[in-house]
């Protein structure tokens, strides 16, 4: 059996991809072409990348009923950075007698020699690509000769190019234009039904609607609803705590933006952003999404407002010296409408009294829970708790002093 692996972001998959795959299949007499959408590598995270599950579903829809194609979730399931060598290891294990081909875009082909475990890749698969023009064709053949000297087998096919690209499709959707003829109808319907790519952020004009679209693509439906509920509650509490309700709403939407990322992907992302976790943070995975979320907001969404960034950063641990906005998000996350835990009524009552009583209650609750579980308590949480208690003591001493001076 001759099977070609055709991997990519497929963001979204389009007729250009499908034509290329079909053309290779007929020229090389392939039995199957396996589409493998990649999981989003952290260094390639960007606001207009559709969620892994959406890209996978669009691949499935695009080839539904066509016996030539298989669609594999192998890379999406593995999460984190996808290495082709690992994928080929797994596939040769699953189909030990198959002859494998690897289809790559021309620009990817020209870097193949530097790929992780290239020697294993070339042993497992015949490397295939198609030039976009004659000049590129010459370049590809020259490079293929270099790879062949290392033992690789390469096939360069002159397949007429299409000028369809995923970037162009996303742009058309954003500007409300038609994408008929560029993607199969089933993919088009899926894109519109799920509002994909419509409001992708353009970094110049941020708005809540854009943020909502971004989290919709990154979060599970449960977490998505939670984030909207926190945003609503934050808008309400901001007025009580002296924060800007607009910023509170935006920070509420974004606070859990990284919450549904697998742990391995979060660690990779933090290291890509140059963040080194200390031992306590390393032992406290529940804080990773907040640290990574703050970096995503700053570096990917290009939000320059430090107050919003810090509200995301400290929404799980709190810290000493929090701004009104940071306190707002911390308390909103505990008291949003979707929350349900034994002390919720008391917590909501205190939230109405002010950020101090609410923070004290929330921090004591969290610290007690962590102690019961023998889990790490991060210094930021203890600093925040101590600050509140010290302030309370100071206020009650002042009150006592005023009382006694009045006697
Ligand atoms: Fe969170
Ligand atoms: Fe949350």
Using the mean position of ligand 1's atoms as its centre, give its distance from the Cα of residue 342 in Å. Answer: 19
Closest CA to 9 of 51, 62, 60, 47: 51
CA 130-135-138 angle, to 5 degrees, is 70
Mark which of 170, 199, 228 sits at the end of a domain: 170
Structure tokens at 367: 């610290």
Quick check: is 333 in a domain?
yes
The bound ligand whose nearest atom lies closest to the alpha carbon of 312 is 1
Q: How confident is the model at residue 345 (pLDDT cuts 50, 70, 90)?
A: very high
* Cα dihedral sign, 136-138-144-146: negative
Q: Do residues 86 and 232 both lie within one domain?
A: no
Q: What is the pLDDT of residue 190?
A: 95
Q: Do residues 107 and 215 both lie within one domain?
A: no
The bound ligand whose nearest atom lies closest to the alpha carbon of 316 is 1
Using the mean position of ligand 2's atoms as its centre, give its distance from the Cα of residue 380 in Å. Answer: 18
Q: Do residues 374 and 320 both lie within one domain?
A: yes
The bound ligand whose nearest atom lies closest to the alpha carbon of 230 is 2
The bound ligand whose nearest atom lies closest to the alpha carbon of 226 is 2
Q: How confident is the model at residue 2 (pLDDT cuts 50, 70, 90)?
A: very high
The domain of 252 spans 208-398
pLDDT higher than threshold 80 for residue 7: yes
Quick check: is 239 in a domain?
yes
Structure tokens at 57: 């579903």
Using the mean position of ligand 1's atoms as its centre, give its distance from the Cα of residue 118 in Å. Answer: 39
Q: How many domains does the chain have?
A: 2
The bound ligand whose nearest atom lies closest to the alpha carbon of 285 is 1
Q: What is the pLDDT of residue 134?
A: 79
Quick check: is 404 in a domain?
no
pLDDT higher than threshold 70 for residue 206: no
Q: Do residues 215 and 350 both lie within one domain?
A: yes
Round to whole Å and give the CA distance between 359 and 365.
10
Q: Do residues 356 and 262 both lie within one domain?
A: yes
The bound ligand whose nearest atom lies closest to the alpha carbon of 293 is 1
Q: What is the pLDDT of residue 45?
A: 57
The 8 Å CB, 24+ separation contacts for 137-140 are 139/110, 140/106, 140/109, 140/110
pLDDT higher than threshold 60 for residue 202: no
Quick check: is 87 in a domain?
yes
Q: Do residues 20 and 159 both lie within one domain?
A: yes
Using the mean position of ligand 1's atoms as its centre, give its distance from the Cα of residue 395 in Å. Answer: 31
pLDDT higher than threshold 80 for residue 46: no
Q: Do residues 153 and 299 both lie within one domain?
A: no
Using the mean position of ligand 1's atoms as its centre, give its distance from the Cα of residue 13 in Å. Answer: 32
Using the mean position of ligand 1's atoms as its centre, give its distance from the Cα of residue 81 in Å. Answer: 24
- Supply the CATH number for residue 16's domain: 3.40.50.620
Mean pLDDT of 59-81: 91
Using the mean position of ligand 2's atoms as its centre, give its distance from the Cα of residue 386 in Å. Answer: 23
Using the mean position of ligand 2's atoms as its centre, give its distance from the Cα of residue 378 in Å. Answer: 18
Average pLDDT, the chain: 90
The bound ligand whose nearest atom lies closest to the alpha carbon of 258 is 1
This prediction's pTM:
0.59
Quick check: is 198 in a domain?
no
Using the mean position of ligand 1's atoms as its centre, give its distance from the Cα of residue 223 in Å. Answer: 9
Torsion (CA) 143, 148, 154, 160 in degrees, nearest 10: 30
Q: How confident is the model at residue 43 (pLDDT cuts 50, 70, 90)?
A: very low
Helix (H) or strand (E) holding 155: strand 154-156
Residue 288 to residues 31, 247, 265: CA-CA distances in angstroms? 44, 23, 10
Round to whole Å and give the CA distance between 178 and 201.
20
Quick check: is 245 in a domain?
yes
Q: Do residues 94 and 238 both lie within one domain?
A: no
Quick check: is 192 in a domain?
no
Using the mean position of ligand 1's atoms as its centre, give its distance from the Cα of residue 55 in Å. Answer: 25
The bound ligand whose nearest atom lies closest to the alpha carbon of 227 is 2
The protein residues having their C-beta less than 5 angstroms from ligand 2 (an ion) are: 256, 333
The bound ligand whose nearest atom lies closest to the alpha carbon of 252 is 2
Which one of 115-119, 163-167, 197-201 scores highest in mean pLDDT?
115-119
Using the mean position of ligand 1's atoms as its centre, give its distance from the Cα of residue 253 in Å. Answer: 11
Using the mean position of ligand 2's atoms as its centre, give its distance from the Cα of residue 166 in Å. Answer: 32
Using the mean position of ligand 1's atoms as its centre, give its distance from the Cα of residue 284 in Å. Answer: 13
Mean pLDDT of 236-247: 94
Mean pLDDT of 140-162: 93
Task: List, for residues 217-228, the tens digit of each pLDDT value.
Answer: 889 999 999 999
Quick check: is 194 in a domain?
no
The bound ligand whose nearest atom lies closest to the alpha carbon of 231 is 2
Mean pLDDT of 46-61: 86
Q: Contact 54/191 with Cβ under 8 angstroms?
A: no
Q: Which residue has the higher pLDDT, 114 or 336?
A: 336
Mark which of 170, 199, 223 sits at the end of a domain: 170
In SS3 terms, 116-140 reads as: CCHHHHHHHEEEEECCCCHHHHHHH
The bound ligand whose nearest atom lies closest to the alpha carbon of 290 is 1
Q: Do residues 53 and 6 both lie within one domain?
A: yes
Using the mean position of ligand 1's atoms as its centre, give its distance from the Cα of residue 24 in Å. Answer: 46
Q: Do residues 145 and 7 both lie within one domain?
A: yes
Q: Do residues 245 and 366 both lie within one domain?
A: yes
Mark which of 170, 185, 200 sits at the end of a domain: 170
Mean pLDDT of 202-222: 76
Chain centre to alpha carbon of residue 45: 6
Q: Do residues 227 and 133 both lie within one domain?
A: no
- Supply the CATH number for residue 296's domain: 1.10.3210.10
């Amino acid at each position: 059996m001759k099977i070609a692996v055709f991997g990519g972001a497929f963001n979204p998959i389009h007729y250009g991809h499908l034509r290329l795959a079909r053309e290779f299949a007929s020229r090389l007499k392939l039995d199957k072409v396996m589409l493998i959408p990649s999981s989003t590598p952290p260094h390639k995270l960007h606001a207009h990348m559709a969620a892994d599950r959406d890209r996978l579903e669009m691949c499935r829809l695009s080839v539904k009923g066509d016996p030539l194609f298989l669609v594999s979730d192998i890379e999406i399931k593995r999460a984190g950075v996808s290495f082709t060598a690992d994928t080929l290891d797994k596939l040769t294990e699953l189909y030990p007698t198959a002859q494998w081909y690897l289809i790559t875009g021309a620009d990817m082909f020209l870097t193949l020699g530097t790929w992780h475990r290239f020697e294993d890749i070339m042993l497992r698969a015949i490397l295939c690509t198609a030039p976009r023009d004659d000049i590129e064709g010459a370049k590809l053949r020259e490079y293929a000769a270099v790879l062949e000297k290392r033992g690789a087998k390469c096939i360069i096919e002159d397949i007429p190019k299409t000028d369809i690209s995923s970037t162009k499709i996303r742009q058309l959707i954003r500007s409300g234009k038609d994408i008929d003829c560029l993607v199969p109808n089933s993919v088009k319907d899926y894109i519109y039904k799920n509002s994909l790519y419509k409001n992708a952020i353009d970094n110049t004009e941020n708005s809540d609607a854009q943020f909502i679209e971004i989290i919709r693509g990154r979060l599970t439906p449960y977490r998505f609803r939670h984030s909207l509920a926190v945003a609503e509650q934050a808008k309400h509490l901001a007025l009580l705590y002296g924060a800007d309700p607009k910023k509170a709403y935006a920070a509420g939407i974004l606070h859990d933006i990284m919450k549904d990322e697998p742990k391995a992907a979060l660690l990779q992302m933090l290291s890509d952003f140059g963040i080194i976790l200390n031992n306590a943070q390393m032992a406290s995975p529940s804080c990773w999404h907040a640290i990574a979320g703050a970096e995503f907001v700053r570096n990917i969404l290009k939000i320059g407002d430090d107050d919003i960034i810090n509200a995301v950063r400290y929404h799980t641990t709190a810290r000493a010296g929090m701004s009104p906005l940071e306190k707002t998000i911390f308390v909103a996350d505990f008291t949003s409408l979707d929350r349900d835990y034994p002390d919720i009524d008391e917590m909501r009552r205190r939230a109405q009294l002010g950020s101090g009583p609410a923070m004290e209650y929330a921090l004591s609750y969290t610290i007690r829970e962590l102690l019961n579980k023998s889990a790490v308590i991060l210094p930021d949480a203890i600093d925040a708790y101590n600050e509140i208690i010290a302030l309370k003591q100071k206020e009650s001493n002042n009150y006592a002093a005023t009382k006694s001076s009045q006697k």
